[in-house]
Structures are given as structure tokens and as C-alpha cells.
Amino acid sequence: MAVKVYGFIGSNAVYRVLASLYEKNVDFEFITVNMVSREHKRPLFLARNPFGQVPAFEDGDLTLFESRAITKYVARKYADQGTELILKDPIQMAIQTVWMEVENQKFDRASWKLMEIAMGRVRGGPELVAEYEKKLSDVLDVYEARLKENKYLAGDGFTLADLHHQPNIYFLMSTRVKRLFESRPHVRAWVADILSRPAWLKLMAFSP
């Protein structure tokens, strides 16, 4: 088995990579990284990811890190199997890239901060929570308008633009932030769709 993923179950970045592999029907070996013992800061792991963060990824002689870079590689390397995660038409791909950037630059920043507050990693009083809920709400207002016209962010089909959202949304749907998604009907339908995909359900059932 050529593809190896190093990380731990529960990491949003690891989930992002594994979701892409399941969507593309790519077999992989999962190697658990013990974060408690700081295995990710040891030389052997740092040789795979010099920043000491999960995931790290290997496909034969190729080693990669940064989850979104890995998903793009998976989508292109295994383009002829599974779900078409990257659109081939240059105009469609440009549109997809816009929404991938929105996820990375706007959605992830607000949603990740709310996740950190929910997990107790960041001390956040009502003012901080309200600030980031407002930031996320502003993004979701744009999504609601977009999803009123299209089933998915990049158009009619599920792509990386949607997949990259799955981990953060999955976590936030178990918190009070859930109401921000459910109060917008087109966002609510999109969330229900992407979290019920067979590949995502396989990932949720995965146990290394």
C-alpha cells in the first residue's frame, strides 16, 4: 500500500485528508501519531513535516504536509477514480478556487476560533463568542445566497470546495453554533448533504 497518512483521529486537518481519500476510493495506511508523548516533535516525524503538525502524507517517494495541499494532490493524482473533486473546465475551476479560498481565509478562521472556545483551548467570554459568531454569520449569509442558486459551492457537484468544510462543520454541529447553520435553509440543506455522504460516513466509522 503506497499511501500513508500520519496523524490522529479527531484532528480536523487529518479528517480533511482522509475524506478526500475515501471520496477517491484510494486505499491507505493510517499511522497514529502520539501527540501526548510529543511524537510529532521528534526528528523522525519532523522529517515528514518540519512544522511538527499533523497530518503528514506519503505516496511512494512523495512526502507532503498541509491538509489542503494534500487533498489537491489526491484529487489530481487519482482524477480517474471516485468523485471528481477538482473541476477540469478552466472557468469552473476558477469558480471552485474562489470558494476554496473563502473556506480557507474566512470560514476556517471564524469557525476554528469558535471550536477552540468550545474545547476550552481559548478563554472566551460572551464578547469574544459574539464577535466570532458574527464573523461566521457574515460568511454563512454569503453561503446562503450562493447555495440558493447552486446545490454546492462550486456549482452542481460536490468538490474540494465543499469537502474542506466538512471537519469544522461536523464539530460545530454539536455546539451552540449549530443554530447559525440551521437558521439558514439552504446552508442547512447543504450541511445535511455533505455530512451524509458515503465517504464521510465511512470516515466517521473508521478506527485505526
pTM of the model: 0.95
**Rounded distance, CA 166 to CA 107, Å?**
11
Instruction: Give me the residue spans of the domains in the chain.
Output: 3-84, 90-199
Terminal-to-terminal C-alpha distance of the chain: 15
Q: For 104, which DSSP code?
A: I
Residue 63, H or E segment: strand 62-65
Higher pLDDT pick, 112 / 120: 112
Q: Is CATH 3.30.310.220 what the domain over 3-84 is classified as, yes or no?
A: no
Is the model's pLDDT at 103 over the cut of 80? yes
Domain covering 90-199 in this structure, CATH number: 1.20.1050.10
Summarised one tens digit per residue, pLDDT across range 146-192 is: 999 999 999 999 999 999 999 999 999 999 999 999 999 999 999 99
Higher pLDDT pick, 100 / 38: 100
Q: What pLDDT shows up at residue 207? A: 80
The position carrying cell 477540469 is: 88
